[in-house]
């Protein structure tokens, strides 16, 4: 039984191009996963939360639960 992934004017080259795109996509996903395993997300946070603003309570503002 012949399994066709893609069909068009290029014949079997369509399948090779399609499989190449899949391999590139999976490779990029693997690389991004591998690089993100060791990330320190608190250190690279763009908006760090300071401890003064969290625990500061005045008469006008209260922390909601």
Q: Where are the domains of the chain?
A: 1-36
60 is written with which tokens? 């006008």
- What is the per-residue pLDDT across 2-23, written as a single tens digit (0 to 9) for each? 665 566 777 778 888 889 999 9
- What is the per-residue pLDDT across 31-65, written as a single tens digit (0 to 9) for each? 999 988 877 777 767 776 665 555 555 567 777 76
Cα 39-43-49 angle, rounded to 5 deg: 135
End-to-end CA distance of the chain: 61
Proportion of the chain above pLDDT 90, given as a percent: 25
């Amino acid at each position: 039984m012949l399994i066709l992934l893609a069909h068009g004017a290029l014949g079997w080259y369509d399948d090779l191009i399609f499989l190449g795109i899949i391999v590139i996509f999976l490779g990029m996903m693997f690389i991004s996963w591998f690089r993100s395993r060791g990330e320190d997300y608190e250190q690279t946070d763009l908006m760090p939360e300071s401890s003064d603003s969290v625990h500061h309570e005045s008469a006008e503002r209260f922390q909601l639960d």
